[in-house]
Copies of this chain bind each other. A is one copy, B any other.
């Protein structure tokens, strides 16, 4: 079986989920360990993962390089790569980029939904693009090998990150806006620029990003992937499920509200549907990647193309992205 990599998950982690990863043959997952947490709180999340690695060494281990994905396959385990969906954890301190890279952080979104110190999120009314600090931090991420992730960023910021970054960037979890209009989904302009720059898009199965929401069909999802391959090139797409398995609704509130407001912000939800939406029938957990692969074959993709989408492209991207800029 070819390599299977998920470009983003944020589950309420447990032995059950780690076992499902193994049942589903998942070789590597980029997991979100922090949103609005500051540096010290993020270190607490790393400590929590260290306990998982200590307790379940037969199921999971921490991934630092693409070679760890190969090691995961050889040893029948899943390699866990850390990432952040907001730069809160570097606080105002560019020096924390290198420190967090050493601790294993491999992806950092320059923004979640709001303006950050680095760039603008997709829920702001206006978008300045990369800030002064944003440009400095992207250079530093490029230097140490931390991937710029613009999944939640606004259009201009995303285009500027693609252009300014000296290394390819990722949109780990989003879909084309032409398929499903949503603040979080991406324009054709962004997708083309991302593909041309050597970047990569992970397709999300989070219902708010899907045409028809929770009722989205596998056929619709897979046809969209095939069309996006035509726009971006088959080498520049992968899966990034945004699976939030077993999370209580209090967590989606934390993701949206953090500590930036005393009110409730419903984000992609609404007052009548504030919680996590139900997943589509064909994707519930890590055992369902085979179903997606089957869906891709059904819309006419070749076996080689399916292998690229299901993990081959992420594998190449990991190999190019996680080490220092100068060859090392």
Contact = CB atoms under 8 A, between A and B. Distances in A.
B140 A114 contact: no
Interface string A2-34: 000000000000000000000000000000000
A93 B124 CA distance: 18
Most buried by B among A92, A93, A129, A136: A92
A126 B129 CA distance: 8
A133 to B, nearest CB: 4
Most buried by B among A117, A131, A134, A259: A131
Q: Give the number of times this chain occurs in the complex, counting copies.
A: 2
A132 B131 CA distance: 17
A260 B115 contact: no
Interface in A109-152: 114-117, 120, 123-129, 131-134, 136, 140
Nearest to A140: B262
Contacts of A259: 91-95
A133 B38 contact: no
A62 interface: no
Nearest to A128: B126
A44 to B, nearest CB: 15
Contact of A114 (B120, B132, B262): B132
A16 to B, nearest CB: 32
A286 interface: no
Given A92-B38, A95-B259, A259-B93, A132 B124 contact: yes
A228 interface: no
B128 A92 contact: no
A115 B128 contact: yes
A88 interface: yes
A296 B39 CA distance: 50
A115 B91 contact: no
Contacts of A123: 132
Contact of A136 (B95, B117, B136, B263): B263
B131 A92 contact: no
A261 interface: yes
A136 B94 contact: no
A325 to B, nearest CB: 14
B114 A116 contact: no
Q: Which 6 A-B pairs have the closest CB atoms?
A: A115-B131, A126-B128, A93-B259, A133-B260, A136-B261, A128-B128
Given A91-B259, A93-B260, A116-B117, 8 more contacts: A38-B91, A88-B92, A94-B259, A95-B259, A114-B132, A117-B117, A124-B128, A133-B260
